[in-house]
Amino acid sequence: MAKHAVEANFDGLVGPTHNYAGLSWGNVASKSNVRSVSNPREAALQGLAKMKRLADRGYIQGVLPPHERPHIPTLQALGFSGSDGEILRAVAEQSPSVLASASSASAMWTANAATVSPSADTADHRVHFTPANLSAKFHRSIEHVVTGRALKSIFADESWFAHHPALPSVSQFGDEGAANHTRLCGGYGEPGVELFVYGQIAFNEQAPAPRLYPARQTLEASQAIARLHGLKDSHVVFAQQNPDAIDAGVFHNDVIAVGNGNTLFYHELAFLDEDSVLADIRSRLTGTKLEAVRVSSEQVPLEDAVASYLFNSQLLNTPDGMMLAVPGECREVESVSRYLDELVDGSGPITSVEVFDVKQSMRNGGGPACLRLRVVLTDDELKAMHQGVMLTDALYERLTTWVEAHYREELTQEDLSDPMLLDEVRKALDELTGILGLGSVYDFQR
């Protein structure tokens, strides 16, 4: 029997070292803003404002903490030694690109934090979490340990929640988390269809694959997570992303498709075999009819979809249909803005559009959907999780004050080697774990 459940969104707090190092080959926005001066304080406040606005609308909103950066243990593992200050100076002189990687605030994009399967889908009827290994990018591959600690702290009760380690950090099992995973269902508490989208088949060199940019998710990784989470074959669809879309800058599926409930909003170039993917979903989706909202290249050219991050939007239920929470850039691209007006004037499931300012994140290649991890929870599971990370008016005010006290207004690549920045970060994060009640999740605390 289906239980009442809700979809909670857990947004990543932007970290104090938010900067534009251009580390993500294949992410057009990230590369185009390389070495610009960033504003970590503004970035964090923009993210908090998005969370607060959605919480005020009645959505269940949680917070995931940023990571310690620069990450000294990573630099030590690469042979740098001495005091923290000596390590930072040495790596800045010898390998500034390594320092940039060890200083990235990319954990803010929690759509990449993990893949989550709700209890309605899993064999043991627990919520399952697998942190993404993010092995395609060095600066992200160091995230899964702390991500796993944070998730275990928040979802600690093993009678309700199951945690798996990240998959082996090799290219054949490259896993980018929920950015390549979405769930379609009639109701959140009912068994659904989990759609895993991959960029290539690692063990088949003859299979279609992108030529210019790397495919970050493999079929083999998606299959492994489905097995770990105890998902039935009848409720899983594996779909290959269109290699041409990857080569156009669609580095994750959530840059070209987003789903919620029984609705899949996607560009016609999202999947290698669109008709087969839709047929597979329809054959497995029970108790409801798939609402496929297809955007053609004539309506929105692929390059405009990438530039605006139209599909990297949050698709949310409202009493009057679904609301699409889009980045402000969607109103700056003519074809996209025109399409959105036509969308809400139509008779489809998406009935409203709201614009959110996340410019600091967008300049690094992450829109509203990148900033959140979706976790479907029954009423009992919601009660069983740690409540200290749930956004209330009081927590919002406290976190805003915390950001204003600890974050710099400007950050350049040269600032990353400043030992004072590391001290500021550790002081801030030590205070944050107290505010959120997470315990010692960071290496410097253990």
Query: Is the distance from CB of 104 to CB of 69 less than 8 angstroms?
Result: yes
Structure letter (DSSP) for residue 348: S
How far is residue 258's CA from residue 64's CA, in Å, rounded to a whole number? 21
Nearest to 122 by CA among 160, 150, 175, 173: 160
Instruction: Using alpha carbons, list the distances in angstroms from residue 408 to 295, 398, 420.
Output: 40, 17, 12
One-letter amino acid for residue 188 of the chain: Y
Cα 85 from chain centre: 32
Query: Is the distance from CB of 33 to CB of 22 less than 8 angstroms?
Result: yes
Q: Is 84 exposed, middle or buried (0-12, 13-18, 19+ CB in 10 A)?
A: middle
Cα 78 from chain centre: 27
* Catalytic hit among 252, 329, 381, 406: 252
How far is residue 227's CA from residue 147's CA, in Å, rounded to a whole number? 21
Verify whether residue 252 is a known catalytic residue: yes
Query: Is the distance from CB of 249 to CB of 27 less than 8 angstroms?
Result: yes
How far is residue 114's CA from residue 375's CA, in Å, rounded to a whole number? 10
How far is residue 200's CA from residue 177's CA, in Å, rounded to a whole number? 15
How far is residue 116's CA from residue 56's CA, in Å, rounded to a whole number? 25
Nearest to 33 by CA among 303, 363, 333: 363
Instruction: Using alpha carbons, list the distances in angstroms from residue 344 to 11, 322, 352.
Output: 26, 10, 6
* Catalytic hit among 181, 229, 329, 370: 370
Verify whether residue 330 is a known catalytic residue: no
How far is residue 231's CA from residue 239's CA, in Å, rounded to a whole number? 16
Which residues lie below 8 Å from residue 129, measured CB to CB, with a gap of 6+? 114, 115, 116, 148, 151, 155, 161, 162, 163, 164
* Catalytic hit among 176, 194, 220, 381: 176
With the C-alpha atoms ordered 422, 31, 178, 98, is the resulting torsion angle positive or negative?
A: negative
SS3 291: strand
Tokens of 235: 């409720």
Query: Is the distance from CB of 428 to CB of 402 less than 8 angstroms?
Result: yes
Question: What are the residue numbers of the active site?
Answer: 176, 252, 370
